[in-house]
Structure formats: structure tokens, C-alpha cells
Amino acid sequence: MKKLKAIDLFSGCGGLTLGLKQAGFKVVGAVEIDSLAVETYKKNHPEVEVWSEDIRKVKGTEILRVLKLKKGELDLLAGCPPCQGFSSIRTKNGKKEVQDERNDLIFDYLRLVKTFLPKAVMMENVPALAKNYRMGIFKKELGKLGYNLNGTPLILNTADYGVPQRRRRMILVCSRIGNVELPKGEARKITVREVIGDLPRPGKSGDPLHDMKENRDARIAEMIRLVPKNGGSRTDLPKKFQLACHKKLPEGFKDVYGRMSWQDVAPTITGGCVSPSKGRFLHPTQNRSITLREAALLQSFPQNYYFSLNKGKQGVALMIGNALPPAFIKKHALAIKKSLLAAQPR
């Protein structure tokens, strides 16, 4: 039996593609504008044809020609349009969008849906997009094309779907050839200890993503040392070690300079995942931030997944933080695959 074919839009470093492949799809094409992400993607997925350019300039008919596909033949079009303008990190209480030209790239996704007319469509994004007027237009146009939205978009927590991380995401799954029975969340959670508890201490592992040294001034290093082990917070620090900005806003951003807990899932892994000033990104017991490799593992990437260091530590951190967790994608891709195979003539 031939594998079902998929295209990944806004592919980033390849988290979505990896999840699709783990579910049994053959990813034949990808579109991504960021050069570092493209370098990383190609290293991990060399068999995929990649369009490394602005999606607004990408012609769907050219993609079909290169991939030798006809309109309606593609099994799945999946992607995550840039969500920075809708992200709760950049918006006040997550209620108002930030004006960002990338907010309208969802319409280029829609343009390619109309060109490809895939059998199924999957989109993942931040929760705020679900209530944005752009999503209303997107859903209406999908309906006109004959897609069944399966009650989506839904707001889900990736921790319920095999990801060792608390991460609320919107997911839309639709099909024009049948209903997709979406997976149910699981009660059991994968903990931080299960994922990174057995890793060697950074420095001599042989993995550059795990061995990169931290540069901290003495005061910050001592402050980190004093944060209680296994879930401690900056609010537990002696007053003389509390930063001035935290004293002014004692109730704000309580997770910064906090430690992860061994027996819990990780907090949301963001582009600031290796900086304790950006969130609860301190190792549960060691006096340091989590490493790039630990961040990738907590996003459910395998330990051998390659990330280019050509733009340094922060470049990798951004790729990891912006990635779609493969384990979350896999669960939903399996449901789509089951529906598509059931609809095939016997």
C-alpha cells in the first residue's frame, strides 16, 4: 500500500513533518522562509522537496507540477501559520492581537488549499486564533469547498497527547471525504524526570546542544543556586536576591527564575527556553537553565534530531520554541490517516 502524501506549510525546523512521518505519511513538500530552519529541516528530512521562500510568492500550481500531483490528489495539507501576532506572550491577557503583517498569512494557506484541494487539512496554532475573524473566514471558505470541520478548531493541551509539556494549542482538522474521529486526551502525563532525568551533566556528553556553557554574573549564579530544588520559585528567594523589577510587580511573571519539577510536565517551551529570566526554565536540581537538547526533548523531538548552530544558541532556542511538538501532531495525523484509508475503495 502506498503511503499517503502530505505537504507541510510554514515547516520551521520540521516538528510537524516529523509527527506526520511518525504517523505513516510521506511528506513530499514543505515551504519555509527562514534559512536556519530550512538548513535544519533539510538535514533531518533530506527526501522532502523544500520551497525556501516567502509563501506569498509561492505558486501552488508550480508545487503541483514539481511534485507531479493533480488538483485533488494530495492527501493532507498541514501547517502552522506564524502566530506571533496572536500569541498571549505578545498580547495583553491574550485578548488583543498585535498588528503584524504575518497575521494574514492564514489567507495564503487558504489560497493553497483552494489550489491543491487536498483530501484533508490540518492547522495548528495559538488558541487566540480560534476566535479571530480570520479563522471565521477560513472556516467559511473551507465549508464552501466541501470540508467537514469535525467540530474544530479545538483548544487542547499537548500534555494530554504524549508531550511532556503544558502547552495550550488550537488545532483544526477537516476532511472533504469523510469524518475524522479525533483522538482523546490521556490521563497519564509524561514527566520531566522521564524525559531528561537520565541525561549526563552538560559538558562532556559529546552533544553540542547539551554541552554549551552558560555565562552568568556572580549575583545571578548565586540567585539561581538559592532557588529551592524541584519546583522552587523566585518568590522563595531572600529579599536581597529579588530583582528590583520583581519587587515592583510581586504578582507578575512568577515563573521567571523558577525551577521545573521532576514529577510534573514542563511549562510551555518558548524561544526563551534557555534563559531563566524568560520563564520556569531552570533545571529541577542542577544550578543552571535547561540545555538546548533538554528543551528539544521536552518538545518531544528525538535525542538525535539535528539543529543548526550557525546562528548560535538563541537561533536554536527560537527554532525549538517555535516548533510543533511531533508527538502531538502524530496523534492527530494517525486519526486523519485512519479516516482517509477507510474512505479508499477496496
Find out whether 91 and 131 touch, Cβ atoms under 8 Å.
no
Domain co-membership, 184 together with 82: yes
Place of cell 523566585: 234
Domain co-membership, 172 together with 198: no
CATH number at residue 150: 3.40.50.150
In this structure, what C-alpha cell is assigned to residue 322? 517555535
In this structure, what C-alpha cell is assigned to residue 232? 522552587
Residues in the chain: 346
Distance CA 267, CA 3 (A): 35
Domain co-membership, 88 together with 215: no
Please name every residue paired with 120 in a beta bridge, in sequence order, or none if there are none. 76, 175
CATH number at residue 248: 3.90.120.10
Distance CA 125, CA 324 (A): 9
Neighbour tally for 92: CB within 10 Å = 8
Distance CA 236, CA 256 (A): 12
Domain co-membership, 247 together with 171: no
- The pLDDT assigned to 88 comes to 47
Domain co-membership, 37 together with 169: yes
Q: Of the candidates 268, 227, 262, which has an alpha carbon nearest to the alpha carbon of residue 246?
A: 227
This prediction's pTM: 0.93
- The pLDDT assigned to 294 comes to 98
- The pLDDT assigned to 127 comes to 96
Domain co-membership, 163 together with 217: no
242: buried, middle or exposed (CB in 10 Å: 19+, 13-18, 0-12)?
middle
Provide the residue range defining the domain that includes 267. 192-321
Domain co-membership, 141 together with 241: no
Domain co-membership, 185 together with 196: no
Q: Structural domain tally of the chain? A: 2
Q: What does each of the 346 residues of the chain score in pLDDT, given as a tens digit?
A: 789 999 999 999 999 999 999 999 999 999 999 999 999 999 999 999 999 999 999 999 999 999 999 999 999 999 999 965 555 444 444 455 666 677 899 999 999 999 999 999 999 999 999 999 999 999 999 999 999 999 999 999 999 999 999 999 999 999 999 899 999 999 999 999 999 999 999 998 999 999 999 999 998 999 999 999 999 988 888 877 776 666 656 555 678 899 999 999 999 999 999 999 999 999 999 999 999 999 999 999 999 999 999 999 999 999 999 999 999 999 999 999 999 999 988 7
What is the chain's alpha carbon radius of gyration, rounded to the nearest angstrom? 21
- The pLDDT assigned to 113 comes to 98
Domain co-membership, 227 together with 246: yes
Domain co-membership, 54 together with 149: yes
All residues at 6 or more sequence positions from 172 whose CB lies less than 8 Å from its CB, including other chains: 121, 122, 123, 124, 135, 139, 149, 152, 153, 154
- The pLDDT assigned to 90 comes to 45
Distance CA 143, CA 21 (A): 28
Cite the active site residues. 83
Domain co-membership, 146 together with 208: no
Domain co-membership, 151 together with 288: no
- The pLDDT assigned to 255 comes to 84
- The pLDDT assigned to 89 comes to 47
